Every structure is written in C-alpha cells, then in structure tokens.
Amino acid sequence: MTILVVAEHENGAVAPATLNTVAAAAKIGGDIHVLVAGQNVGGVAESAAKIAGVAKVLVADNAAYAHALPENVAPLLVELAKGYSHVLAPATTNGKNILPRVAALLDVDQISEIIAVESADTFKRPIYAGNAIATVQSSAAVKVITVRTTGFDAVAAEGGSAAVETVAAAHDAGKSAFVGEELAKSDRPELTAAKIVVSGGRGMGNGDNFKHLYALADKLGAAVGASRAAVDAGFVPNDMQVGQTGKIVAPQLYIAVGISGAIQHLAGMKDSKVIVAINKDEEAPIFQVADYGLVADLFEAVPELEKLV
Amino acid sequence: MKVLVAVKRVVDYNVKVRVKADNSGVDLANVKMSMNPFCEIAVEEAVRLKEKGVASEIVVVSIGPTAAQEQLRTALALGADRAILVEAADELNSLAVAKALKAVVDKEQPQLVILGKQAIDSDNNQTGQMLAALTGYAQGTFASKVELAGDKLNVTREIDGGLQTVALNLPAIVTTDLRLNEPRYASLPNIMKAKKKPLETVTPDALGVSLASTNTTIKVEAPAARSAGIKVKSVAELVEKLKNEAKVI
C-alpha cells in the first residue's frame, strides 16, 4: 500500500496543511509519497523531503502547474494515481478544487473532509454542517480523499530524508488561464493553524470596530476570524470567515465576540478546545457551546480584556 | 448562450437535524425541505446573465425524488425557462449526480453550467468539479464574480488567502460561493406563471446512466455533544479562569 499526498504550498514553502495530511496518511499506513506540483518548486520539494515519515517526494515542475489550475494538475494526478492505493490532499480550496476532478477521471467517488481513519478503506466525516458524523467505506481501487486538517495533529516538518524524484509529465489542457490574484496581507498567524482565534460577528457594528479585536489578538498572538454576517456586511474580507462555508478551525482557545452562534458558524469552530463567548444577548445560541460566557457589551469587555491579559 | 443550472432539494438550512436512533442516517421525516442555498445563488446568477442579455435560455435540472419538482418550480418562478427532473433515489453520491448531469449536458449542449459549490446536507463539494472532469470543460469553482470577456469567461474565485481570477474557455462549469449575489424572492405572479412552464421528467435509465457508487455509508452518528459551560460575571473573572482553570493563555 502506497499513499500519494498532494502537497499544498505557497510562496515557495510547504503549507502547514500538508503536515496534517501526511499525519492522516500515516494513520492509514504504508509508504507515503508527496507530490509537489507547480512552477519553480525545487525549494518546496527539498522541504517536503524533510517531513517526518515521507518516503519519496515527486516533483512536477512546469509552467502548466503554476497556480494549481485543476484542468492541468488533475491529468497529472490521474497519470500518477494508478500506482497508488490512496490519493490524499488537504481540504483547502486547492484540494477541494482539484481532487474531485481527479476522482471523476478515475471513475471513483471521493470522500471529502475526513476527520478520522477507521481502517485503510473506512473513514469518518462530518455531514449536515457537522451535526452528524458519517462513517464511509470505499471500495474504489484508488481511494481519493480530502483531509480536514483540524482532525489530525501535524507531523514534524523536520527529521525525514526522502528521496526526490522528478516527474517529467507535462499536461497543459489549454482550457484555462490564471489572470491575477488579490491576497489579503496579515502579520498575524494563519487562521486555520493559530492556537488562539478571536472572532467578531455582526455585533461589531462596523469594520473600524474590528481594531478592538486586532489589538486583543496581537496581545494574545492570535488570528482574527469572523462570522458570515460580519463578512457580508463588508466589515472584513471573506478569507477571514469561519464556518461551514468558510474555514474550519480548532484552536486551543476560540473567543467569539458579538457572534450569535448560527449552525453554520458552529460548524467551523465547535471542535475548539475552549470556547469563550462575549455577547450582550444572554439568549444567544453561542452560550450553549461556550465553556465561558460573559454577558456584556463587547465595546467595554474587549478593551478591558485586552488590558488584563 | 444557453445556461444549465443544477439545483438540489435539501433540508432547510435553519433546521437542526437529528440522527436516527438506529444510526442509519438523519431523520428527514416531516422536516422542512428547501432549495440548497448555493443552488439559489446559481439560479440567481443565471437569471442575471439573462437580464444582461448574455444568456438566452435557462434550463434548470435536478436529480432526485419526485418531490424535487417543488424546487424546480421555485427556480422557474425565479426566472428559469424550463426544467428537467432526473427522477432517482434520495442521497445519491456526487459522481452519480455528475454522470446524470453529463448526460443532460450532452443533450442540451449549454455553453455554461452553474452549480452551487456544495450541498449543505452531504457537504461534499464535489459535483461541479466532477462534471467538469466528465465533460472535459474548464472549471471556475467557488465563484464570487462571473464576467463574460470576449470568448472567455472570467471567474473570480474565493481561495484560502483571498481572491483569484481565472479565464476559462467556453463551454465551462462554474460553482457558486455565497458572495456571488443576493438571490431574489419569487413574486406571487411569477410563482403562478411558473406552474405553466415546461417540466420534463426523465429516468437515469433513459439517459443511459448508472448510479452505482464506490462509497457506502456504514453508519451515521451524532457528534460528541458539547455542553454549556459557566457564565462569568466580569472580565477579570474570565481572565482568571482562562489563566488558572483552562490554562489556555
């Protein structure tokens, strides 16, 4: 049994999500190979080779694979997949974009966002916004799976010494082209990997008021998230959204400020170790999952909290 | 251009579902069903394309039980021209749905297919990508903006770090994110008119599609319950608890 893990990388470095995906692969058991596809990814391949538990790194370095266009990367994966029992990718936007295309080309069903490995062919995954957990068995020759990164503890980024092998295959479907991107810049830790997350909702009132949360987050070394209401109201950019349709986080501490706690938001954060809710409405559903609740005006409570921590 | 929109009948997004006692699934008896929210956005986008003169005809399709006719009628009331129901069992896997949609695409030859990015019941986020694979078309997933630029479709996508824009050759597949648009409500006259719009029913057999799957759901369980904790009286007490009791700061 050999497992192929599709590496997530950005700015010439392996993204942390790759380490959680390798951890899921290790639970399945067998040799783990990592594919690094992209343009000028020699450095990424070198760091991928150091990941603990990885036996081999495959590098597909080609202009066609830049920006991970699924029309080009999927055929590459299909070509490689035939030698593997499992193909895994993190359930990032890239993984979700590419892997179902691979599964369909292999004529197999995919299993999305697994949170646990029961055996080599049986996995657990959340459905209905995390309100039910399904155990799913796959009879496919090649099992195509995306991994919810918060379900698995990351393996060590150092300590391995895998061989690096070049994959010559170049697939350029010529059906799509990258035009541009607009990335949100932040000095704070990455939302999905942060140990502490401070999130704001509609109760923040406007985008300017998020400065209270930024100040608190900076003091705690935390990332800042948001509910859909805050994103839709234009307070903050959408890549900060936590929930069923945004990012899934499971930090040590999640502080929900001015967030009512709709099902869709809870789907993205209810596996946090400790949840704190600050809300002036004591009937807000968020208090039903919060370990510590404070019924108070957030504009008084948040600055005070910032002073005391 | 002709636009095909796929819609799914799912449990209403406000319903808190309960897992059945025998762990065979969730209990959907007497539960409010609606059009999947992402599918509503897909219908709205198609209607806007028609209003801009880009789309000439909107065909809406659903693969599911007879009752999914309700959701197709809703789409017709929102502005779709005609509907197709591929009558099949509930709870199909994404690949089976993608195969049925591929058969409809082969027949209808749309220039653009719009789907929601995921259904809020199975949370798979697969069907659009799989349909793109089966048809060989380009895909613009998680779209927050769709624009026709000459013979290409420019799609702005929501990615983890922000936004990305790709140019796709037509025909193409687009899946919608929540921020693509704000769906309209159907007016009563439009709901009445929708009853007269054509709704064709076909079977997967007639389309020559097999709905077999490589995935089997063995059981469905309730997630570990998280119970309410305590309410603190002041910020000072909160900080004290976080430091000494939970030890997280």
- Each residue of A127-145: pLDDT tens digit? 999 999 999 999 999 999 9
For the cut 90, the answer to whether the pLDDT of residue B143 exceeds it is: yes
Give the closest of B127, B157, B223 to A130, CB-based: B223
- What is the average pLDDT across B103-124? 98
Contacting residues for A188 by C-beta, under 8 A, at least 6 apart: A194, A214, A217, A218, A222, A223, A224
Residue B100 confidence (pLDDT): 97
From CA B159, how far away is CA A38, in angstroms rounded?
A: 17
For the cut 90, the answer to whether the pLDDT of residue B249 exceeds it is: no
pTM for this entry: 0.95
Are the Cβ atoms of A176 and B164 closer than 8 angstroms?
Answer: no
A145 neighbourhood in chain B, CB within 8 Å:
none
Residue B204 confidence (pLDDT): 95
Residue of B nearest to A298 (CA): B235
Say whether the peptide bond before residue B171 is cis (omega within 30 degrees of 0).
yes
Pairs across A and B, CB distance < 8 A: 258
CA distance, residue B210 to nearest chain A CA (Å): 12
- What is the average pLDDT across A25-50? 97
CB atoms within 10 A of CB B161: 17
Here the ipTM equals 0.95
Render B113-156 in DSSP notation, one character per residue: EEEES--TTT----HHHHHHHHHT-EEEEEEEEEEEETTEEEEE
CA distance, residue B158 to nearest chain A CA (Å): 8
Alpha helix stretches (DSSP H) within chain A:
16-28, 42-49, 70-81, 93-105, 210-220, 228-232, 263-266, 298-308
For the cut 90, the answer to whether the pLDDT of residue B157 exceeds it is: yes
CB atoms within 10 A of CB A82: 9
Give the position of tokens 């129901």.
B85
Are the Cβ atoms of A176 and B214 closer than 8 angstroms?
Answer: no
Residue A57 confidence (pLDDT): 98
**218-257 in chain A: CB under 8 A from chain B:** 220, 228, 231-232, 237-239, 244-245, 247, 252-253
Residue A9 confidence (pLDDT): 96
For the cut 80, the answer to whether the pLDDT of residue B138 exceeds it is: yes
Q: Residue B23 class from Cβ within 10 Å (0-12 exposed, 13-18 middle, 19+ buried)?
A: middle
Q: How far is CA A49 from CA A7, A35, A54, in A?
A: 11, 10, 7
Are the Cβ atoms of A294 and B235 closer than 8 angstroms?
Answer: yes
Task: Look up residue A36 and give its two tokens.
Answer: 């690094």
Residue of B nearest to A102 (CA): B133
Instruction: Please write the tens of the pLDDT for every residue from A41-88.
Output: 999 999 999 999 999 999 999 999 999 999 999 999 999 999 999 999
Residue B146 confidence (pLDDT): 98
Instruction: Please write the tens of the pLDDT for every residue from B41-57.
Output: 999 999 999 999 999 99
For the cut 90, the answer to whether the pLDDT of residue B89 exceeds it is: no
Amino acid at residue number A174 = G
Are the Cβ atoms of B178 and A131 closer than 8 angstroms?
Answer: no
Instruction: Please write the tens of the pLDDT for every residue from A161-212.
Output: 999 999 988 899 999 999 999 998 888 999 999 999 999 999 999 999 999 9
Q: Decide if B129 contacts A97 (C-beta within 8 A).
A: yes
Residue B91 confidence (pLDDT): 81
For the cut 90, the answer to whether the pLDDT of residue B227 exceeds it is: no
pLDDT interval class at A15 (50, 70, 90): very high
Instruction: Please write the tens of the pLDDT for every residue from B164-208.
Output: 999 999 999 999 999 999 999 999 999 999 999 999 999 999 999
Are the Cβ atoms of B226 and A289 closer than 8 angstroms?
Answer: yes
CA A213 to centroid of chain Cα atoms: 23
From CA A71, how far away is CA A81, in angstroms rounded?
A: 16
Instruction: Please write the tens of the pLDDT for every residue from A94-108.
Output: 999 999 999 999 999
- What is the average pLDDT across B98-119? 98
Give the closest of A131, A137, A296 to B16, CB-based: A131
Residue A185 confidence (pLDDT): 84
Are the Cβ atoms of A304 and B14 closer than 8 angstroms?
Answer: no
Give the closest of A96, A109, A253 to B93, CB-based: A109
- What is the average pLDDT across B106-116? 98
From CA A90, how far away is CA A94, in angstroms rounded?
A: 8
For the cut 80, the answer to whether the pLDDT of residue B90 exceeds it is: no
Are the Cβ atoms of A97 and B249 closer than 8 angstroms?
Answer: no
CA distance, residue B53 to nearest chain A CA (Å): 24
Residue B228 confidence (pLDDT): 81
Render A30-72 in DSSP notation, one character per residue: SEEEEEEEESS-HHHHHHHHTSTT--EEEEEE-GGGGGG-HHH
Give the closest of B133, B140, B179 to A104, CB-based: B133
From CA A211, how far away is CA A225, in angstroms rounded?
A: 13
Q: Decide if A216 contacts A306 (C-beta within 8 A).
A: yes
Q: Which residues partner with A275 through β-bridges?
A: A254
For the cut 80, the answer to whether the pLDDT of residue A290 exceeds it is: yes
Residue of B nearest to A288 (CA): B228
Q: Which domains does chain B have, with CATH numbers?
A: 2-245 (3.40.50.620)
Counting residues of chain A whose pLDDT is more than 90, the rounded percentage is 95
Residue of A nearest to B231 (CA): A293
A212 neighbourhood in chain B, CB within 8 Å:
none
Selected residue of B155, B160, B180, B216 to mutate for chain A interface (largest A Cβ count, 10 A): B160
Q: Decide if A135 contacts A124 (C-beta within 8 A).
A: yes
Give the closest of B138, B141, B230 to A292, CB-based: B230
Are the Cβ atoms of A133 and B162 closer than 8 angstroms?
Answer: no
For the cut 80, the answer to whether the pLDDT of residue B13 exceeds it is: yes
Cα torsion A234, A238, A242, A243 to 10°: value is 90
For the cut 90, the answer to whether the pLDDT of residue B154 exceeds it is: yes
Specify the range with the lowest mean pLDDT, choosing from A9-13, A99-103, A211-215, B65-69.
A9-13
**Is A89 strand, coil or helix?**
strand
Q: Decide if A17 contacts A8 (C-beta within 8 A).
A: yes
Render A176-214 in DSSP notation, one character per residue: EEEEEEEEPP-SSPPGGG-SEEEEE-GGG-SSTTHHHHH
